[in-house]
């Protein structure tokens, strides 16, 4: 008799050319990921060859009950690390039946910005550092923390090793490998300053693909923590007090910044970001005021600052970039719950299109 594990791990290609496509989309809160699966007649590699689909938007806070149909438009395909074989994960965005993007569809406007000729010519590269916190399921308290109590002070946990310093490494490593399998350009992982908090980095990614890859990486992490019976939190300050918050630092460069003389372009771009500081902060994630306090490696939310190798600044320029006279910079303001479509496209719009 086959076990449940045997059946879950069945290799469909032994008996059929049909595949399973898991359609993924972002729900009404802007952070809740949803997905459902459908059978396709054979392997697909181009999103334009995939059928559109629909779902009940009244159950996700995205449509009224009397007109609840929302249409899924496939936008990016990834290999499915859970079902494997030729099965796929499909990142979608959401539209009304008339073809209009629904209000929570942030990908639509981001794609328009990245298709702008000026932006496309600059080939914007992104590297996003996604921090998150693993929580014990029934008590919503960080993994590895004593129930109702606190661990020792921060210090030994960042990139730490050992059962008293590192909590959840099996989940983190499973996620790392699953993302590589899926085709996400995940470039690394590390344990963070607060125990139970981790980070993965995705990039370099060009334009809209950065947002697609971060969202699918988040989806894979949600699925893995579901299997492990652990909760993943993207709250920017999950534990009040003398504990680091969680961010999503955005490393950014354009072709002009990467070429000779790029450091002057970088400084000009940073000045533009300074002029639009309030607009960016408003779009960089909810609850960020609890994180951007001027402590715990952050700049104060009300004040824009930048510096070379300064992790207490709004924007950090690497020492190597300064020495080489070209390279990239890091916007340290985005919160861990930011929408990567919004953040990446807004940085491009401000630094390339916007003329103050």
Per-residue model confidence (pLDDT) at position 118: 98
Phi, psi of 11 (to 5 degrees): -90, 105
* DSSP codes of every residue in 223-240: HHHHHHTEEEE--SSSS-
- In the prediction, which pLDDT does 349 show? 98
**Above 90 in pLDDT, residue 189?**
yes
Q: H/E element holding 94?
A: strand 88-95
* pTM across the whole model: 0.97
Q: What are phi and psi of 347, to 5 degrees?
A: -65, -45
Q: Which residue has the tokens 């990016």?
A: 76
Q: What is the mean pLDDT of residues 200-205?
A: 98
Report whether pLDDT(225) > 90.
Answer: yes
**How do residues 61-101 score in pLDDT, each as one tens digit?**
999 988 899 999 999 999 999 999 999 999 999 999 999 99
pLDDT for 311 equals 83
Whether the pLDDT of residue 169 is over 90: the answer is yes
- pLDDT mean over 265-275: 98
Reduce the DSSP state of residue 214 to 3 states and report it: helix
Instruction: Kindly state the tokens that stand for 103.
Output: 């209000």
Task: Say yes or no to pLDDT of 297 above 90.
Answer: no
Any idea which residue has 């149909």 for tokens? 69
pLDDT, tens only, 323-340 = 999 999 999 999 999 999
**178, 181, 195 from 175: Cα distances, Å:** 5, 10, 18
Instruction: List pLDDT tens digits, range 238-261.
Output: 999 999 999 999 999 999 999 999
Residue 356 has pLDDT above 90, yes or no: no
Query: What number is the average pLDDT over the span 279-306?
Result: 95
Share of the chain above pLDDT 70, in %: 100
| Stronger pLDDT, 25 or 312, i.e. the higher one | 25
Compute the radius of gyration of the chain from its Cα atoms. 21
- 310 has a pLDDT exceeding 90: no
- Averaged pLDDT of the chain: 97
**Residue pLDDT, tens place only, 117-151:** 999 999 999 999 999 999 999 999 999 999 989 99
pLDDT higher than 90, residue 296: no
What's the confidence (pLDDT) of residue 217?
Answer: 98
Q: Which residues of 54-85 are buried (b: 16+ CB within 10 A; e: fewer)?
A: ebebbebebbeeeeeebbbbbbbbbbbbbbee
* Residue 253 confidence (pLDDT): 98
């Amino acid at each position: 008799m086959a076990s449940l594990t045997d059946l879950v791990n069945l290799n469909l290609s032994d008996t059929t050319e049909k595949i399973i496509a898991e359609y993924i989309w972002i729900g009404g809160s802007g952070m809740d990921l949803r997905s459902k699966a459908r059978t396709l007649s054979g392997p697909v590699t181009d999103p334009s060859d995939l059928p559109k689909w629909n779902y009940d938007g009244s159950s996700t806070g995205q449509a009224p009950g009397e007109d609840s149909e929302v249409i899924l438009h496939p936008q990016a395909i990834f290999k499915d690390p859970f079902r494997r074989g030729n099965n796929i994960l499909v990142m979608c965005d959401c539209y009304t039946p008339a073809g209009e993007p629904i209000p929570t569809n942030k990908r639509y406007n981001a794609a328009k910005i990245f298709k702008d000729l000026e932006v496309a010519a600059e080939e914007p590269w992104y590297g996003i550092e996604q921090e998150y916190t693993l929580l014990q399921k029934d008590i919503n308290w960080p993994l590895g923390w004593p129930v109702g109590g606190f661990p020792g002070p921060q210090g030994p946990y960042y990139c730490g090793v050992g059962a008293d310093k590192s909590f959840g490494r099996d989940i983190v490593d499973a996620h790392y490998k699953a993302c590589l399998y899926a085709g996400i350009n995940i470039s690394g992982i590390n344990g963070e300053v607060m125990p139970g908090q981790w980070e993965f980095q995705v990039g370099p990614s060009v334009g809209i693909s950065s947002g697609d890859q971060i969202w699918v990486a988040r989806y894979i992490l949600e699925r893995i923590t579901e299997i492990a019976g652990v909760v993943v939190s993207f709250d920017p300050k999950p534990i009040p007090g003398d504990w680091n918050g969680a961010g999503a630092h955005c490393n950014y460069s354009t072709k002009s910044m990467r070429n000779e003389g790029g450091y002057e372009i970088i400084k000009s771009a940073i000045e533009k970001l300074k002029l639009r500081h309030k607009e960016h902060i408003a779009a960089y994630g909810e609850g960020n005021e609890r994180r951007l306090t001027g402590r715990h490696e952050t700049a104060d939310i009300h004040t824009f600052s930048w510096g070379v190798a300064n992790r207490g600044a709004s924007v950090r320029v690497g020492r190597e970039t300064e020495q080489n006279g070209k390279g990239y910079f890091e916007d340290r303001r985005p919160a861990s719950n930011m929408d990567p479509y919004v953040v990446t496209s807004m940085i491009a719009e401000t630094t390339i299109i916007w003329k103050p």
